[in-house]
Copies of this chain bind each other. A is one copy, B any other.
Amino acid sequence: MALLSPSRRLRRTPFSDGVEAAGVKAYTVYNHMLLPTVFESVAADYRHLKDHVQVWDVSVERQVELRGPDAGRLMQMLTPRDLRRMLPGQCYYVPIVDETGGMLNDPVCLKLAEDRWWISIADSDLLYWVKGIANGYRLDVLVDEPDISPLAVQGPKAEDLLVRVFGERIRDIRFFRFDWFDFEGREMAIARSGYSKQGGFEIYVEGGDIGMPLWNSLFAVGEDLNVRAGCPNLIERIEGGLLSYGNDMTDDNTPHECGLGRFCDTQTAIGCIGRDALLRVAKEGPVQQLQPIEIAGPPVPPCDRYWQLWASGKKVGKVTSAAWSPDFDVNVAIGMVRMTHWDPGTDLEVETPDGMRPALVREQFWI
C-alpha cells in the first residue's frame, strides 16, 4: 500500500484521537477527510463486525443542512424519489441527480422538520451543487455544512451497546428512522441505519468537542460485548450489495444503471431537476446495470481501477469493486454489465491485474 502524506487539507475528525489510539492501520480520503479502512486486517475486521460490535468514525459523511421555507421544495428538486409522504423522524436513501439524470451522490437524507433536512453525503462536494441550485433558483433556504460528525455503531451487538449509553428507548428506533437522545446534556439524533448489513445505528454527533467523550463512553461500557474500533468493511459491503459512489458509479451513470430504479418515482417526483431525463430512462430502461459478479480463482488483488469484463471477445462491462470473501469462499464483486450479458448465470471473463479469470453474473448479492 502507498503512504499518505499528512496535511491540514485532509481533515481530521472529532474521533481521530480515538481512531489512532485504537491502532488504525490505513485510511482512505473521503470528502476531504480521513476515513479509516483497516484496524487489524480487512479480513479480521470483517469477522469481528459480523460477530460483535464496532464503533466507526464516519465523520466523512458530512451533512448538508437545508433550512427555511423552501427546504422541502429544494430537497425534492435534488432527487427523483417522491418525498411527499416522508415524515419527520424518517431517513430516506435518495439518489441525487443532475439535469441529465447523472448521479451526483447517493446519500441518506433525514427529515428533521418540514423546513429542516440533513443530507448525509457520499464522496462528492454535494454542498456545491445544492448551494448553486438554491442560489440560481433564488430559493428561500439556508444551505450549509454544520459541525456534525456521524459515529456509526454496527454489528449484531450494536443495540445492546447503545442501550447501555442511551437507555432502552434505543430499541424502539425502527429501521431508517431516527429519534433524539441525550448524552451529557447534549441532544443527538440517532438513526437505525449504517453502511453494513449487520444492523446498527448512526449517531449524529453535533459539536466536535463531545466526540471523544462519547467515543470513550461506548468503549467503557462495552468491554464484555467485545466492542472494537472499526470502519466500513470492503468485503462485507460488497457481499451486501452496498454501493460506493466513486467506485461503483459516477455522474456518468443514471440511478437505473445503478439498480436504484426503485428509488425513482419519476412520474410523481414533481420538481426534480433530472426528472425529464429520467422519464425517458424509466420508460426505455437502462442499457447497462450494476450486477453482483463472482470471480473465480484465488483472492484478487485490490481493485484500484476498472477491470474489463469480456464475453466472446467483446467488451461487455467492467468490474468496479472486488474482494475475497472468507465466508463465501469466493471473490465477491460488483460490475456494470451491458444488458446483452446481465442475465443471472451468464459466464463472462474479467481482466484482472493477474490475468483473465472466469466470472459469473449472479442472481443476487451474498445476502
Seen from chain A, the residues whose Cβ lies within 8 Å of a Cβ on chain B are 1-10, 12, 24-29, 32, 34, 37-38, 98-99, 104, 123-138, 244-247, 273, 302-306, 320-321
Contacts and interface: CB of A to CB of B under 8 A. Distances in A.
A24 B5 CA distance: 12
A27 B4 contact: yes
A137 B28 CA distance: 36
A135 B99 contact: yes
Contact of A8 (B126, B132, B135, B304): B304
Contact of A124 (B99, B125, B302, B320): B125
A133 to B, nearest CB: 5
Contact of A131 (B34, B132, B246): B132
Contacts of A123: 9, 32
Contacts of A32: 123-124, 246
Contact of A133 (B8, B25, B136): B136
How many copies of this chain does the complex contain?
2
Contact of A129 (B129, B138, B246, B321): B129
A143 to B, nearest CB: 10
A99 B130 CA distance: 13
A104 B131 CA distance: 11
Given A104-B128, A135-B99, A136-B133, A302 B7 contact: yes
Nearest to A9: B246
A132 to B, nearest CB: 2
A26 B3 contact: yes
Contacts of A1: 3-6
10 contacts: A1-B4, A3-B25, A5-B27, A5-B302, A7-B28, A7-B321, A8-B321, A10-B304, A126-B128, A136-B137
Nearest to A20: B2
B247 A12 contact: no
A5 to B, nearest CB: 4
